[in-house]
Amino acid sequence: MSLWRLLTLTIILLYFSAIILFLTYQPSPFDTTALYPPTPCKCPQILTLAPVTTPSEPATTLSESPPTSPPRPLHTLAVMVPFRDRWEELTEFVPYMHKFLNRQNVSHEIWVINQADKHRFNRAMLMNSGFMLTESCCDYLVMHDVDLLPLNDHLSYAYPTDYSPYHISSPELHPLYHYKKFVGGVLMMTREHFKRVNGLTNIFWGWGREDDELYLRIKEAGLQLHRPAGITTGNKTFRHNHDRKVRPRDMKSYGTQWRLSRRRDRESGLHTLKFEVLSIHNMSINGAPFKLANLELHCDYQKTPFCDHPS
């Protein structure tokens, strides 16, 4: 074989070897750059978010506390008002006392106990009746004349835990009555103590002296009478809204009435009380709520024939 042929055959073999090497080449499994060349990274932009607020609501910080309501009182006071034909005084009394007691955060219900029968007025029986009517809603009571308004916010109407009976309109503070045994006007008691004294007498028809008899009941029951201390407003502590010329009091006595009203009554009280509820209405005066209970009192004509005026 000539040299020329040998050179030509070598070139042909090298050519086919290069083709075979190119066709059979495989990249390394750890080298991906040959198949997947790097491309620029398109990362999302990192944002810094400010606190979200609404126009009507300021942002709340950790140091703030949510608003809280005042604690619900544990006790509810029944304001029992003996009543007959005193509407002018009542329209002032109800809103005034409602605001006065709210300022002291005293949970209360005002009960106007209206004598709707034809008998003479019997304040004591109305208070006994009010005690029975408020038994399910109130755990202490105050017997409150409609014409007496407290002017000093230091007069407490809170539950008398250690000082019942509590005579709020004491002789030192009442505008008119200053004798030592006086317990009228505004007297607060727990329901337990009211039961212990058997309520008030039922035989006092007309005006007056049922409070003096109640004083004797309190003493006989072994209860200590408490009165406000530290009140410096004296007889200007209350406003007495009563005109005797416009509203004369029924102070007449008939038969044995005068004699019976001067002694301790041990025969009547809560246990002998008889009355009929004619109606009870939920009412309000200038937004101040109260209950009006219309009652018909029972008169025992054999024991108290003076419950009516003689014809």
What's the CATH number where 223 sits? 3.90.550.10
**Averaging pLDDT over each range in 18-22, 147-151, 302-306, which range is the top one?**
147-151
Q: How confident is the model at residue 3 (pLDDT cuts 50, 70, 90)?
A: low
Nearest to 286 by CA among 81, 86, 95: 95
Position 153 in a domain: yes
Position 221 in a domain: yes
Position 40 in a domain: no
Count CB neighbours of 181 within 10 A: 13
Instruction: Write out the residue range of the structural domain in which residue 135 sits.
Output: 77-244+275-301
What pLDDT score was predicted for residue 29?
A: 45
Chain CA centroid to CA 65, Å: 24
Q: Using N-to-C axis directions, what is the helix angle for 210-220 and 123-133, rounded to 10°?
A: 60
Report the percentage of the chain scoring pLDDT > 90. 64
What pLDDT score was predicted for residue 16?
A: 66
What pLDDT score was predicted for residue 59?
A: 43
Domains: count for the chain: 1
Of 14-28, 46-60, 122-136, 212-226, minimum mean pLDDT range: 46-60
What pLDDT score was predicted for residue 25?
A: 52
Position 258 in a domain: no
Position 35 in a domain: no
Distance CA 267, CA 271 (A): 9
What pLDDT score was predicted for residue 68?
A: 60
Q: From its phi and psi, is residue 281 left (phi > 0), alpha (psi between -120 and 50) or beta? A: beta
Position 308 in a domain: no
What pLDDT score was predicted for residue 8?
A: 72
Position 56 in a domain: no
Position 150 in a domain: yes
Nearest to 85 by CA among 248, 283, 285: 248
* Mean of pLDDT values over 26-46: 42
